[in-house]
């Protein structure tokens, strides 16, 4: 592996974000907390900045529980605002800046955000959206600025406020963020998460002395996932608690990310599989570019076995897979580094529950299934959401009997390892037989000419539904539908083999890197 394990003095574990920020400001004031586009913010500076922001929020008349929206790219200001909301007791609502005006309107209307922080180039979109909202629209709109701009600038707005934490600092179980689900199906819902949910898994790992995933104060964590996706703030909060430095990539660009990994002193990162595939496909990418890495955490989508084996070979560091949802604050199950051995059949699993987390596969009646039987995966975790914002009926359905119903189809083996088959709503019913897209996609990925593939259902008059494969062919390769059909005969039962193939240049994805099967279904 790239980095040896060294003896380390544990950083004290405080239950709240504000207490943690105060500790770091006192014990490591000059250490860089956030690095972004060449700008560095120390832990002392971040503490002072976020406290000024918190006091400004309170002076604006916001009460504990008030929603604060952030519609901008990832910068140090996002983390300033995240810590400020913890100190003021307000709730941060990150908004994907790439959303359409209608989607932005839905989030602002649904959340009832009273204050909005955005970028100047978003104002032409934001203005009409806010005008179209009824009373209760954000009454204050602030633009990220350099501190010299007009009165509507974020930095000028909070200038001169006290640098000490306000007396209203929220407790560990108060809501901290309201994350909107990715919207791969239906209207996005606001998932309310308390401070404690971000550190619950971290606490379980520490309590049981497990280093499946670990964060060290001398780490430099690459922050690739955006702040509006649960993986973004979750990853930041882990490293922040440890007193580590976060290097904000400001989105995923393969060339820039590879340069940061090669020359930025990065020791660990969190990515989705598509990012890993793109990095390894960069011209000239090789082991030297990843020599500083000690661990890569990945999740968010199934990873094809050939890609995982390539990662293990080229990147030469430890790997850990996580599985979870926004509703479980990113992670409930982990495939530890010890299981990442080429040829290990457990590489097909997403992992096993952390100690203190329980996972079951249940049938349509909610009864637990025996090992190996496929059903809906449900999770009992201390990192579960408070609920869906202003949706009590949907919250009750999701949190039945204290378990979170995930909507994912899978099974649990005799050793407790969890294997995903697919989203239940994505299962394809071919003449009464269930076909799970992930299984077919994994088989397609084994063909040397296939870069990636997505499988969806299309209507079939005879069998109800048929399987369609959307395939991206590797550069310089040629491939036909017949070749793929013959190839899959060795890997899949006949009813699972796609009967239609569409060759595309790329697959549609959301900000988290997940394939948008809904768009593919709509297209066909």
Give the DSSP per-residue string, 471-524.
EEEPTT----HHHHHHHHTTTS-GGGS-SEEEE-S---B-TTS-B-HHHHHHH-
Measured from the Cβ of residue 336, the count of other Cβ atoms closer than 10 Å reads 17
Measure the CA–CA gap between 179 and 428, rounded to whole angstroms.
Answer: 29
Is the four-CA dihedral 375, 379, 384, 387 of positive or negative sign? positive
∠ CA 144-226-88, rounded to 5°:
55
The whole model's pTM is what? 0.86
Instruction: Give, in order, the Cα–Cα distances in Å from 441 to each of 410, 435, 465.
Output: 16, 11, 17
Radius of gyration from C-alpha coordinates of the chain: 23
Instruction: Give, in order, the Cα–Cα distances in Å from 42 to each of 9, 34, 158, 304, 477.
Output: 21, 7, 19, 39, 49
Say whether 220 sits in a helix, a strand or coil: strand
Nearest CA-CA partner of 322 in 443, 223, 201: 201
Buried-exposed string 340-366: b where 16+ CB fall within 10 A, e elsewhere: beeeeebbbbbbbbbebbebbbbeeee
Measure the CA–CA gap between 105 and 317, rounded to whole angstroms.
Answer: 43
Q: pLDDT tens, position by position, for the chain (524 residues)?
A: 554 444 566 788 899 999 999 999 999 999 999 999 999 999 999 999 999 999 999 999 999 999 999 999 999 999 999 999 999 999 999 998 888 888 899 999 999 999 999 999 999 999 899 888 876 689 999 999 987 767 789 999 999 999 999 987 667 889 999 999 854 445 789 999 999 999 999 999 999 999 999 999 999 999 999 999 899 999 999 999 999 999 999 989 999 999 999 999 999 999 988 889 889 999 999 999 999 999 999 987 667 788 888 999 999 999 999 999 999 999 999 999 999 988 899 988 999 999 999 999 999 899 999 999 999 999 999 999 999 999 999 999 999 888 999 989 999 999 999 999 877 778 888 876 778 888 899 899 999 999 999 999 988 877 788 999 999 999 999 999 999 999 999 888 888 999 999 999 999 987 667 788 888 988 88
């Amino acid at each position: 592996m790239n980095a040896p394990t060294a003896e380390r003095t544990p950083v004290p574990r405080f239950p709240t974000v504000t207490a943690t920020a105060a500790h770091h400001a006192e014990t490591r004031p000059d250490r860089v907390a956030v690095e972004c586009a060449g700008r560095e913010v120390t832990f002392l500076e971040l503490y002072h900045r976020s406290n000024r922001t918190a006091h400004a929020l309170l002076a604006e008349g916001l009460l504990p529980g008030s929603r604060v929206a952030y519609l901008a790219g990832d910068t140090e200001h996002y983390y300033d605002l995240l810590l400020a909301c913890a100190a003021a007791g307000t709730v941060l609502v990150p908004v994907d800046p790439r959303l359409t005006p209608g989607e932005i309107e839905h989030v602002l209307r649904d959340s009832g955000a009273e204050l909005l922080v955005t970028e100047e180039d978003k104002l032409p979109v934001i203005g009409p959206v806010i005008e179209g909202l009824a009373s209760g629209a954000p009454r204050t709109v602030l633009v990220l600025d350099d501190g010299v701009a007009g009165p509507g600038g974020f930095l000028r707005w909070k200038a001169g406020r006290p640098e000490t934490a306000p007396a209203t600092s929220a407790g560990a179980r108060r809501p901290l963020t309201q994350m909107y689900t990715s919207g791969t199906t239906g209207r996005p819902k606001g998932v309310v998460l308390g401070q404690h949910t971000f550190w619950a898994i971290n606490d379980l790992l520490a309590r049981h002395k497990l280093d499946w995933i670990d964060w060290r104060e001398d780490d430099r964590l690459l922050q690739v996932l955006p702040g509006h996706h649960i993986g973004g703030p979750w990853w930041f909060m882990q490293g922040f608690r440890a007193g580590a430095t976060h290097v904000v990539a400001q989105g995923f660009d393969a060339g820039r990310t590879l340069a940061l990994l090669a020359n930025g002193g990065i020791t660990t990162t969190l990515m989705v599989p598509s990012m890993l595939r793109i990095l390894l496909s960069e011209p000239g990418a090789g082991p030297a570019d990843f020599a500083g890495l000690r661990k890569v955490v990945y999740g968010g989508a199934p990873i094809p076995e050939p890609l995982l084996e390539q990662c293990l070979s080229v990147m030469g560091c430890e790997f850990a897979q996580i599985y979870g949802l926004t509703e479980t604050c990113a992670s409930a199950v982990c495939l530890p580094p010890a299981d990442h051995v080429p040829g290990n059949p457990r590489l097909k699993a997403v992992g096993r529950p952390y100690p203190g987390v329980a996972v079951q596969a249940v049938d349509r009646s909610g009864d637990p299934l025996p090992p190996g039987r496929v059903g809906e995966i449900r999770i009992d975790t201390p990192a579960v959401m408070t609920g869906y914002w202003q949706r009590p009926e949907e919250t009750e359905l999701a949190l039945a009997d204290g378990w979170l119903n995930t909507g994912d189809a899978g099974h649990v083996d005799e050793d407790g390892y969890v294997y995903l088959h697919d989203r239940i709503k994505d299962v394809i019913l071919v003449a009464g037989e269930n076909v799970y897209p992930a299984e077919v996609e994994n088989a397609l990925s084994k063909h040397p000419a296939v870069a990636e593939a997505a499988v969806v259902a299309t209507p079939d008059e005879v069998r109800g539904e048929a399987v369609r494969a959307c395939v991206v062919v590797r550069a310089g390769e040629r491939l036909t539908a017949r070749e793929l059909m013959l190839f899959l005969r060795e890997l899949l039962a006949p009813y699972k083999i796609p009967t239609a193939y569409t060759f595309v240049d790329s697959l549609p994805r959301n900000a988290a890197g997940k394939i948008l099967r809904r768009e593919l279904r709509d297209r066909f």
